């Protein structure tokens, strides 16, 4: 199946975002493009078999929800790596266990066990 919808987060410093997202959340770099000055201005990161894009721009837009297998371990790792936890681990009435955080530029991220 060809993907038609992609999550996108904007950053003032894409390379710093890549370093944080791979280190704190375990994402993998699929591709990173640089502008004429050699600065990363677009990247595609793998989350399992799914892909998110990051690009230059003002941070703080819509949040991104990512389902993970072991949300407790993910939470602990992200917190230790510097993620700012905005909602501690919570068991939701719809059956998900999840938490919310912000990355260093203020973009909201949500991780949990919910899989529609």
Question: pLDDT (tens digit, 9 = 90+) per residue, 30-53?
Answer: 999 999 899 999 999 999 999 999
Closest CA to 8 of 45, 66, 54, 61: 54
Q: Is residue 91 part of a domain?
A: yes
Helices (H) and strands (E) in the chain, counts: 2, 8
Q: Is residue 51 part of a domain?
A: yes
CA distance 113 to 86: 17
CA distance 59 to 14: 11
Q: Is residue 2 part of a domain?
A: no
What is the extent of the structural domain holding 19? 7-112
Domain count of the chain?
1
Q: Is residue 1 part of a domain?
A: no
Q: Model pTM?
A: 0.80
- Determine the pLDDT at residue 43: 94
Closest CA to 110 of 94, 83, 10, 35: 83
What's 58's domain CATH number? 3.10.180.10
């Amino acid at each position: 199946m060809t993907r038609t919808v992609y999550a996108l987060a904007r950053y003032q410093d894409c390379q710093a975002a890549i370093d944080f997202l791979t280190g704190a959340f375990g994402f993998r770099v699929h591709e990173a493009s640089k502008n004429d000055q050699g600065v990363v201005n677009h990247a595609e990161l793998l989350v399992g078999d799914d892909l998110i894009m990051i690009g230059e721009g003002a941070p703080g837009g819509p949040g991104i929800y990512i389902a993970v297998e072991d949300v407790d371990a993910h939470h602990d790792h992200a917190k230790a790596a510097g993620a700012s936890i905005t909602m501690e681990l919570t068991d939701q009435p719809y059956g998900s266990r999840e938490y919310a955080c912000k990355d260093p530029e203020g973009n909201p991220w949500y991780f949990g066990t919910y899989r529609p």
